[in-house]
Amino acid sequence: METQLAAQPLPLRQRGEPCCAPVQPPSLPIARAEALAEHLKALADPTRLRILDLLAQQEEPLCVCDITPRFAQNQPTISHHLRLLRQAGLIDCTKQGIWAFYHVTPSGRRRLATINEFP
């Protein structure tokens, strides 16, 4: 069964006359969009997400030597992931001698909670 639609002529408009409804500018300021993009880039890796989650589950900060055995990657790769998470402000660390102990920041905890709401 074929349905035919009657052709309707397009309305004519003059040059400079808007063709659509007015477009509102984005509500997200450029600086905020850039900051959010950096957080999202840091979280766009399964290992980094799992590291963030691991740190969020702990009552005390963890040394990289306690983090590395829980992942398939070697220590330099885990340190790289930790550096990216730290640069994004999602985790931080405390130095004790030559050791660095990592913990999730309040911002990292909030981001992780938001991500966990996704299906």
Residue 17 lies in a domain: no
Q: Which contacts of 1-6 are long-range, i.e. CB under 8 A and separated by 24 or more positions? A: none
Residue 19 lies in a domain: no
Q: Does the pLDDT at position 2 exceed 70?
A: no
Residue type present at position 63: C
Cα(37)–Cα(56) distance, rounded to whole angstroms?
Answer: 21
**Number of domains making up the chain:** 1
Per the structure, the complete domain to which residue 66 belongs is given by 31-115
Beta strand segments in the chain, E: 62-63, 91-96, 99-104
Residue 43 lies in a domain: yes
pLDDT tens column, 29-69 = 999 999 888 888 888 999 999 999 999 999 999 999 999 99
In the three-class reduction of DSSP (H, G, I as helix; E, B as strand; rest coil), residue 109 is classed as helix
Residue 106 lies in a domain: yes
Residue 88 lies in a domain: yes
Here the CATH number for the domain that contains residue 45 is 1.10.10.10
Sign of torsion over alpha carbons 31, 32, 37, 39 = positive
Strand partners, 54: none
Residue 42 lies in a domain: yes
Residue 47 lies in a domain: yes
